[in-house]
Amino acid sequence: MRLIFFYLGKLFTIIKNEVLVLPSRVAVGLFFLFMLLLPLFTKDIYLLRIFTLTSIFAIFAASWDLLSGFTGQMNFGHALFFGVGAYGAALLNLHASIPPWASVPLGALCAVLAGLIIGIPCLRLRGTYLALTTLAFPIILTGLIFAFPSFTGGELGISGIVRLTQSRVGDYYTVAVLMLGLCTVMWKITDSNIGIIFHAIREDEVAVRASGVNTTRYKLLAFSLSGFFAGISGGLYAHFMRIAGPSTLDLFLSFSVVIYAIFGGVVTIYGPVGAVFVLFPLLEFLRVVQNYRTLMFAVVVLLILLYMPDGLFAWLRDKIEKECPRCKIRNIATRHTCRVCTAPLD
């Protein structure tokens, strides 16, 4: 009994010293709690459905940030991974009757394969050329899908896929927990030594090569990691909607993920996730003014980009936190001295 109290005390100290000192960490903690406790307060199917879809697209947006934000490999055809993941999971589930817990990761592996196949020829390209080439791949795949309607379902897509779980709440929890877990994993990757190389590749690829690092390998790694996470979101989408259609390869999907990422702040991971949680429900709730829905959506996005060019969440973080000029540790904006080295802030 005393041991339990001892560890509880330790946990409390960690939370007090590491989490509560920074508002951004508190916000992330509250977000986790909110996602996990939401079904306890509402059983509204419509609301749960919106948040499930939002979580799926949050994984998708974060995976784009991992590739294009961090390594700077502008990918305008990110829907390719989403679509391959969705179709892969759907076909495996329908024809080989593999259950969702296996078909989703296997579909994601198909997306990794797709990432490697397009990654290898695209690695020689840079900037605009890369963006335009990647833009073409989902369109090519859509053409292929229309060419073999007996296997892929053509324009109607593949329907009759097994549900993710037996209940709406189960669906919600599966997707929400996966979203929180995968986004944490992505954030961890970008925070590690690999993340440093990704940053460096974005800044100056020749200099990275002159530092003795095989950039080709790391760029392929970025392509496959990003493809894997996007493929998982695609597979979840297919199992949740119970249909995998050509809309999963849509051009609009590729561009909306770019909008999400830039709206929330690129090169952050938390930015795109937050942006999806703002924009996706916003688009849903704007249904009350059906005719002006997209227009108002565009106005919101434009205003944010005009006044917060670094993205909404990067801007918010700068407002509530200050960086210590001496030790570079972040502090809450209300403090006058750094919490670690006691140097005066600004």
Partner 1 sequence: MAPSFLEIKGITKSFGGLQAVNDVSFSMERDQILGLIGPNGAGKTTLLRLITGILKPDTGSVRFMGKELVGRKTWSIVNMGIACTFQNMRPFRRIPIIANVMVSCMSPRAMKSGEWVKRLEAKAMDALEFAGISDMAREKASVLSQGDLKRLEVARAVATEPELLLLDEPFGGLSPAETELMAKSIKRLHKGGRFGRLHSEGPAMIIVEHQLQWLMKIVDRIIVLNFGNLIADGSPDEITKNPQVVEAYLGGGGI
DSSP state of 334: T
Q: What whole-number distance in Å separates Cα of residue 252 and Cα of residue 219?
A: 25
Residue whose CB is less far from partner 1, 44 or 204: 204
Binding partner 1 by CB under 8 A: which of 52, 215, 233, 268? 215
Residue whose CB is less far from partner 1, 72 or 83: 72
Minimum separation from the CB atom of position 166 to partner 1 (A): 47
Minimum separation from the CB atom of position 78 to partner 1 (A): 23
Residue whose CB is less far from partner 1, 74 or 164: 74
Q: Is 200 near partner 1 (CB under 8 A)?
A: yes
Interface size with partner 1, residues (CB under 8 A)? 19
| Residues 197 and 189: beta-carbon distance below 8 Å | no
Q: Is 211 near partner 1 (CB under 8 A)?
A: yes
Backbone region of residue 322 per phi and psi (left: phi > 0; alpha: psi in -120 to 50; beta: other values): beta
Q: Is 121 near partner 1 (CB under 8 A)?
A: no
Q: Is 120 near partner 1 (CB under 8 A)?
A: no
Residue whose CB is less far from partner 1, 163 or 328: 328
Radius of gyration of the chain (CA): 21
Minimum separation from the CB atom of position 285 to partner 1 (A): 36
Minimum separation from the CB atom of position 113 to partner 1 (A): 25
Q: Is 204 near partner 1 (CB under 8 A)?
A: yes
Cα three-residue angle 296-54-243, rounded to 5 degrees: 110
187, two tokens: 């954030």
Q: Give the residue among 15, 39, 17 at the shortest CA–CA distance from 29.
A: 15
Q: Is 14 near partner 1 (CB under 8 A)?
A: no
Q: Is 196 near partner 1 (CB under 8 A)?
A: yes
Q: What whole-number distance in Å separates Cα of residue 22 and Cα of residue 322?
A: 10
Minimum separation from the CB atom of position 326 to partner 1 (A): 9
Q: Which stretch binds partner 1 (CB under 8 A): 28-36, 133-141, 199-207, 310-318?
A: 199-207
Q: Is 328 near partner 1 (CB under 8 A)?
A: yes
CA torsion angle for 152, 154, 157, 158 (degrees, to 10)?
Answer: -30
Q: What whole-number distance in Å separates Cα of residue 328 and Cα of residue 320?
A: 15
Q: What whole-number distance in Å separates Cα of residue 57 and Cα of residue 131?
A: 21
Q: Is 197 near partner 1 (CB under 8 A)?
A: yes
Q: Is 206 near partner 1 (CB under 8 A)?
A: yes
Q: What whole-number distance in Å separates Cα of residue 169 and Cα of residue 52?
A: 10
Q: Is 214 near partner 1 (CB under 8 A)?
A: yes
Q: What whole-number distance in Å separates Cα of residue 259 and Cα of residue 44?
A: 29
Q: Which stretch binds partner 1 (CB under 8 A): 22-30, 77-85, 110-118, 210-218?
A: 210-218
Q: What whole-number distance in Å separates Cα of residue 118 and Cα of residue 77?
A: 11
Chain residues binding partner 1 by CB under 8 A are: 193, 196-197, 199-200, 203-204, 206-215, 327-328
